[in-house]
Amino acid sequence: MSDRWVPELLAPAGNLEKLKVAILYGANAVYLGGQKFGLRSAADNFTLEELVEGVEFAHARNAKVYVVLNSFLHDKEIDELPEFLKFLDEVNVDAVIVSDLGVISTVTENSNLEVHLSTQASCLNVEAAKLWAKMGVKRVVLGREVSVKEAAKIKKESGLEVEMFIHGSMCMAYSGNCVISNYTQGRDSNRGGCAHSCRFEYGLDFSDDQRAKAQDIKAYFMSSKDLEGIRVLEEFIEGEIDSLKVEGRMKSHHYVGTISKVYSDALNFYKEHGHLLSEDIKEWETELRKITHRDYTLASLVEPAGADSIYTEREHDDNEYVVAGVILDVVKNDHMVLEVRSAFRPNDSLELVPFSGNARMFNVDFVTTIMDEPYEKTKPGYLVKVPYVDGAMQWNIVRAKCLAVAGV
């Protein structure tokens, strides 16, 4: 493969298994949270032991690990931070992602950790980036309101590395600077508890006359579509954006594996050929529709997001595919051991998603227990043997079209 430069692909790792999946499917770096100080309290998050294992797994495959410390902290929590920083430094974490000025100063005074400014800090311009650089920041994760062109200028004029979101859920506020969830659900969006209140349907209190006239008003008026940047990937590369970030530490194994594979396939193609092909982009877009998503938008990557970025239909799109299972072991030319995630039965058609190359359909000619007792149908959590598929490897995803499992 040519040594042409391409950006880093940075994937979310909600837990240790997803970290492995992201890296094996092609991510160059992952970001994750420890038990405290991050913004996703509902993600599994990593224990100290898992963090050590995750860093070793990543570094053995030339991938990086960034740890999120992007909550806004009170003094009591700041007091507890140096001990955690010492641990992160000792286990060779590659950077920490920070929003709070107090946290930045605690990190720079107590460790040698590289500091990345979180998107929560809403850095949108060159002057702000220069100021963050003076405070010891090495990379800025730019606000989602910045276009790729603006990001390229910020990189050039500030001398900082820049990171941009390329895929995933959006926030209707300047990332996280919103308290709808606090007031309506009692869940603090700036401490990892966002309930996505902006996605809900809201009613307006009309008089009877007005109500009759207002019947057609869509009430999901704050609900954003999901970001999908594959169509403008070449612009990111030409703008020398250092890192392309995928949102979604709360999302599934299927999501993490699919996104990592699609974007790394695209970046590898560019690395080799110096361009992308429109037919490949269509194929990658088709793959990106197989994971749970809302309608996609370019949001503000090219022009500032407008009304066409609002998702007016309902809270979620239907899933086209589900994960039937994850491969835990492979006995070549004989069988694969699968941990079942969604029920299936003998004679269903499933698809193996290899780490590289196209998905492969196969027929489930048999499903048995580990002791070779046949199953009539499976349930989530079962460990089962299914037929071997050429090229299968541990941690590969096996997926099923939703229709295939609808009757199970």
Could you list the residues that contact ligand SF4 (CB under 6 A)? 171-173, 176, 178, 180-181, 189, 194, 196-198
Q: How far is the CB of 176 from ligand SF4 (least distance, A)?
A: 5
Closer to ligand SF4 at the Cβ: 123 or 171? 171
Q: Locate tokens 């193609």: which residue?
A: 269
Rounded to the nearest angstrom, the gap between the alpha carbon of residue 124 and the centroid of all alpha carbons in its chain is 22
Closer to ligand SF4 at the Cβ: 255 or 269? 255
Q: How far is the CB of 100 from ligand SF4 (least distance, A)?
A: 17
Q: How far is the CB of 143 from ligand SF4 (least distance, A)?
A: 12
Give the separation between CA 362 and CA 286, rounded to whole angstroms: 20
Quote the tokens at residue 55: 């860093």
Is residue 341 a contact partner of residue 311, using CB atoms and an 8 Å limit?
no
Instruction: Tell me the backbone φ, ψ of residue 80, rounded to 5 degrees.
Output: -85, -10
Instruction: Tell me the backbone φ, ψ of residue 328, rounded to 5 degrees.
Output: -100, -25
Closer to ligand SF4 at the Cβ: 111 or 189? 189
Q: How far is the CB of 372 from ligand SF4 (least distance, A)?
A: 48
DSSP state of 310: B
Q: Strand 349-353 relative to strand 397-401: parallel, antiparallel, unpaired? A: antiparallel
Ramachandran region, residue 92 (left: φ > 0; alpha: ψ -120 to 50; beta: rest): left
Q: How far is the CB of 175 from ligand SF4 (least distance, A)?
A: 7
Closer to ligand SF4 at the Cβ: 111 or 309? 309
Give the separation between CA 368 and CA 169, rounded to whole angstroms: 39
Angle at 267 between CA 263 and CA 271, to 5 degrees: 170
Pick from 231, 64, 68: which is nearest to 148 by CA? 231
Q: How far is the CB of 246 from ligand SF4 (least distance, A)?
A: 16
Closer to ligand SF4 at the Cβ: 64 or 245? 245
Q: How far is the CB of 312 from ligand SF4 (least distance, A)?
A: 15
Is residue 247 a contact partner of residue 162, using CB atoms and an 8 Å limit?
no
| Paired residues of 245 in beta bridges | 10, 165
Closer to ligand SF4 at the Cβ: 41 or 110? 41
Closer to ligand SF4 at the Cβ: 111 or 181? 181
